[in-house]
Amino acid sequence: MLMMQDVMPNPGFGTFRLEGDTLKQSIHAALEAGYRHIDTAQFYGNEADVGEAIRDSDVHRSDIFLTTKVWFDNLEPARLKASVDESLQKLGTGYVDLLLIHWPSPENEVPMSDYLTALKEVKAEGKACHIGISNFTCNQVDEAVSILGKGEILTNQIEVHPFLQNRKLAEHCEHQGIQVTAFMPLAVGKVMDDPTLKQIADAHNATPAQITLAWVEQRNMITIPSSTKARNIQSNIAAFDIMLNDSDMAEIAMLDRQERIANPDFAPHWDE
């Protein structure tokens, strides 16, 4: 029987670009600090290490919300299903809590109805508790909801940080009843050097990274920061105790400059 979790624990721990012993030590530090949401993907090439780290921890698998994502090369329905079985084998688990489409099919090479229907079938087979999408635009979100029905898509995982606030898409997801998960919340460390975030951080006796994570949380988003340092892993989760005031939120809102970091050549045509 699957251990269902109604909501995604916040924050999650991101594992992009982490591997081997560094990854395992980081996951152990995260679980010890209180994280209960681990995010990986087929593309990261670390599912086996993530699975091993979870098995070696003192936290039971059923207490961890585990996410992985299907890469766009695997969207043809038969390949999608086979790739999920491969992911589960690498992770050493019979199910994931959340299974995402990592990127929409470039130029709609595989029709969305084909791969989302396959995704829903994987869920029906008990291999995923929840399903969702990642890097989908407003129009793609609407198409996905029209295919699967409202309430079926748990989240759209998108790039959100103070320099790319993605408000139009975030509000559109909320309107469709879809939780936003913010990836790359610290803008690969750029938030640490921002004068506005530094000033707000000083006022709260916090770091710019903590202020940024508190800001994401106060926008009602899940987020999945990544770190290899136990000190930062702990301070990231502590950020969720910080309460920003209206002035803080307004100042951060002014930092948006549409600075997109994750923008590969196969990305969709982004919303303006």
Q: What whole-number distance in Å separates Cα of residue 177 and Cα of residue 30?
A: 29
Phi-psi region of 151 (alpha: psi -120 to 50; beta: other; left: phi over 0): left
Which residues are part of the catalytic machinery? 44
The residue segments making up the domain with residue 156 are 13-188
Domain-located, residue 176: yes
How does pLDDT run across 21-58, given as a tens digit for each residue?
A: 999 999 999 999 999 999 999 999 999 999 999 999 99
- Note whether residue 237 is domain-resident: no
pLDDT score of 6: 52
Q: Is position 271 within any domain?
A: no
Query: In which order are the strands placed within the sheet that holds 153-159?
Result: 13-14, 37-39, 65-70, 96-101, 128-134, 153-159, 179-183, 222-223
| DSSP single-letter state for residue 206 | S
The answer as to whether 122 is a domain residue is yes
Q: How many domains does the chain have?
A: 1
Residue 219 located in a structural domain: no
pLDDT tier, 93 (very low <50, low <70, confident <90, very high otherwise): very high
pTM for the complete prediction? 0.96
Q: Would 199 be classed as within a structural domain?
A: no
Residue type (1 letter), 129: C
Specify if 35 maps to a domain: yes
Q: Which residues of 81-114 are buried (b: 16+ CB within 10 A; e: fewer)?
A: bebbeebbebbebebbbbbbbbbbbeeeebebee
Residues whose CB falls within 8 Å of the CB of residue 241, separated by 6 or more in sequence, listed in order: none
Residue 102: CATH number of its domain: 3.20.20.100
The residue assigned the tokens 């829903």 is 120
What percent of the chain shows pLDDT beyond 70?
Answer: 98
Peptide bond into 185 cis (omega under 30): no
pLDDT in tens, 177-233: 999 999 999 999 999 999 999 999 999 999 999 999 999 999 999 999 999 999 999
pLDDT of residue 215: 98
In a domain, 251, yes or no: no
